[in-house]
Structures are given as structure tokens and as C-alpha cells.
Amino acid sequence: MPARLACAGTRQTLRASQTNLPGPNTRADELVKWLWNEAQFRPDYPSISLDYFADDVVYEDMVYSEPFVGKDAVREFLLKTKEMAPPDFVFVVDRVSDGVRSCGLTWHIELKTRPDAGKFANGCSFYELNSEGKICYIRDTVESPLKIGSFGLVLANLAAKAIKMTPPPS
């Protein structure tokens, strides 16, 4: 099943066989497109992706309380995610920013066998490359299932007031 990349309101279909593996001087935005639009569909995923990660990579998935630090921890996280997700769960890129050493992207989750069923969730991610062109930092954030709107600002305001009323540690 082809991956899809939507950009500026148009959809472009990419297949895993359309491009070569990224080279050592690949821009962050191009590497991210390859990871999301091709690598995740390969039978050797996530192993093929890990070739592009620094040994000391830090991966912050905001639904977990602690980051995954180091390539081994990230490997285990990606394998666990692949095992636990439904077999036809797919991450679809919506937009990718321009970036040589870092970039951001927006994405959504859908079932590849039923894209007509719609999105399960939306999210955004940030990727940074080190001086060797390897991914050294990732942060993933998925939308909240609870839509609290401006009530979130009310809560933030109350929290700020409570912090101001609390004496700083001595």
C-alpha cells in the first residue's frame, strides 16, 4: 500500500521502491519524508531506520513520562509500537517544514485498508540531526482526545497563581 504525502492541499503518492536509501548528507526534511513515507512500510522496519539514528539519540514521545535515550532504547520502543499497533495502522504525513539540520512535520493516523474511515488522531513531530547527519533528537506530540479549548488557559492561569503564592525553595 503506498504512503501518502499531502502538501499545500494536494496529495502525492510515493511508493517505497521510488527512491534510493538516503545518503550521508541528506537534509533533515528529506530524511524525515523517507522515514515516514517509505521506511515504515518496509519489511525490515525499524532496523533500516535505525541506521540513520545517532547512538545517543533522545526520543521524546509525549505520551510517555520519560524519553527513550540511546539507539537501543529507541529500537525497543519502535519494535514495541510496531507489535502493539493494529496491523493496518499507518502514520500519514500531512506537511513537512523545510530544514537542513532540523524540521517539523504534521501527521495523522489512519487504517491503510480503510482510509475512508478517516483519521484516528493528528500529531506533530520535530527532528534534529547532529553534525554527522544522524538523528539525535525527536519529539512526538499527539493531539489530546479531550478538547478543552480556552478552559486550558483558565487552568494555566490558576496554576500560575498557585505557583506565585508558593514560596520558592530555600
Q: Is the pLDDT of residue 11 over 90?
A: no
Contact 26, 37 (CB under 8 A): no
Domain containing residue 93: 3-145
168 inside domain: no
111 inside domain: yes
Upstream peptide bond of 87 is cis (omega within 30 degrees of 0): no
Query: Three-class SS string for 4-59?
Result: EEEECCEEEEECCCCCCCCCCCCCHHHHHHHHHHCHHHCCCCCHHHHCCEEEEEEE
152 inside domain: no
Residue 61 binned pLDDT confidence (cut-offs 50, 70, 90): very high
- What's the pLDDT at 14? 40
| Range name among 47-56, 64-73, 84-93 with the lowest pLDDT average | 84-93
41 alpha-carbon distance from chain centroid: 15
53 alpha-carbon distance from chain centroid: 14
- The string of pLDDT tens digits covering residues 35-50 is 999 999 899 999 999 9
What mean pLDDT, rounded, does the chain reach? 86
Q: Residue 149 and residue 170: Cα distance in Å, rounded?
A: 36
- What's the pLDDT at 19? 57
Instruction: Give the range with max mean pLDDT: 8-12, 32-36, 155-159.
Output: 32-36
108 inside domain: yes
131: domain CATH number?
Answer: 3.10.450.50
Torsion sign over Cα 36, 37, 38, 44: positive
Q: Residue 12 and residue 95: Cα distance in Å, rounded?
A: 11
Q: Residue 1 and residue 161: Cα distance in Å, rounded?
A: 52
Residue 15: Cβ within 10 Å count: 12
Q: Is the pLDDT of residue 17 over 60?
A: no
Over range 89-105, report the average pLDDT: 95
Between vectors from CA 94 to CA 88 and to CA 96, what angle results, nearest 5°? 125
151 inside domain: no
- The string of pLDDT tens digits covering residues 118-141 is 788 899 999 999 999 999 999 999
| Range name among 86-90, 116-120, 140-144, 155-159 with the lowest pLDDT average | 116-120
Domain count for the chain:
1
64 inside domain: yes
150 inside domain: no
109 inside domain: yes
Q: Is the pLDDT of residue 10 over 60?
A: no
Over range 8-14, report the average pLDDT: 38
Q: Is 92 helix (H, G, I), strand (E, B) or coil?
A: strand
The better pLDDT of the pair 16, 94 is held by: 94
